[in-house]
Amino acid sequence: MASIIKIIELVGSSPKSWEDAVQTAVKEASKSIRGITRVGVKEMDVKTDGAKVTEFRARVEISFRLER
């Protein structure tokens, strides 16, 4: 049987690292989405306060199989 995959886009943030920002997005998504099959990082950026990095942000695509 063929399956359908849905993709949503989220932005995770962290004061520590980009890796932690991705993990934050996945953790939040998994609270309401079952069957996550893939996470793709589309973009990474940071917020700054002058010359200091204050927040790492990661824009991710979360893929999951639709249930019937």
Domain containing residue 52: CATH number: 3.30.1660.10
In a domain, 53, yes or no: yes
**Cβ atoms within 10 A of the Cβ of 25, count?**
23
Is the confidence at residue 27, as pLDDT, over 70?
yes
In a domain, 3, yes or no: no
The total number of structural domains in the chain stands at 1
What is the per-residue DSSP string for 1-68? ----EEEEEEEEEESS-HHHHHHHHHHHHHTT---EEEEEEEEEEEEEETTEEEEEEEEEEEEEEPP-
In a domain, 56, yes or no: yes
In a domain, 2, yes or no: no
Give the model's pLDDT for residue 68: 75
* Parent domain of 39: 9-65
In a domain, 1, yes or no: no
In a domain, 13, yes or no: yes
Percent over 90 (pLDDT), the chain: 91
In a domain, 30, yes or no: yes
